[in-house]
Amino acid sequence: MISNILYELFTLFIYEVSPELSENSFLSSSGRFFYECIVTDDGLCRVGWSTMRASYEIGTDAESFGFGGTGRASHKRQFDVYGDSFGLGDTVGCFLDLDNAAISWSKNGANLGKAFDVPSHLIQAGLFPSVSLKNAELRFNFGATPFKYPQAGWLAIGSAEKEQLIISSKFG
């Protein structure tokens, strides 16, 4: 079951938010997208972005980027202090700027600034929302309902146009 968490999260995004897309679609090309998650039960969690080649512990390999409740941003097992810790009741915004090849997060509406530059080969591979959890619960909003902290200049990930997607051969 744990090996299916990333796939299940992606499938939730596709079928509940954007049914016109296929489960083979990943963000690529251009645009500035975000989603929110609300911590509904304490525990360890990391939210962010991954390619389909990523490990199930996001932020621990070269294929994923994560921001954890401990207030650290991670990529390739490098855990850097970034913003504040977050926990029960907090809302975390996850931002993917494909136009400027950058990833950032927010906490309760306060933008924490750029955390990572995204290599072009990862943008070309396609990125999608990702999460790693241990004894934690989160509620995700990909744009099906109004955001708690709307962000000017950013689009809900669920509003991606077909031209902003690539098709993966991973599923099918």
CATH H superfamily, domain 2-18+27-142:
SPRY domain (2.60.120.920)
In percent, the amount of the chain with pLDDT more than 70 equals: 79
pLDDT value for 27: 62
pLDDT value for 103: 98
pLDDT category of residue 114 using cuts at 50, 70 and 90: very high
> Structure pTM?
0.83
Residue 146 CB neighbours (<10 A)? 8
pLDDT tens by residue, 44-98: 999 999 988 888 899 999 999 999 999 999 999 999 999 999 999 999 999 999 9
Name every residue whose Cβ is closer than 8 Å to that of residue 145 and which is 6 or more positions away in sequence.
none
Closest to 83 (Cα-Cα) out of 69, 100, 98, 62: 69
Amino acid 85 reads S
In percent, the amount of the chain with pLDDT more than 90 equals: 57
Q: Distance between CA atoms of 155 and 14, rounded to whole angstroms?
A: 16
String of DSSP letters for the chain: -GGGHHHHHHHHIIIII-TTS-TTEEE-SS-EEEEEEEEEE-SEEEEEEE-TT--SSTTSSTTEEEEETTSEEEETTEEEE-S----TT-EEEEEEETTTTEEEEEETTEEEEEEEEPPHHHHHH-BEEEEEEES-EEEEESSSS--SS--TT-EEGGG--GGGEEE-SS--
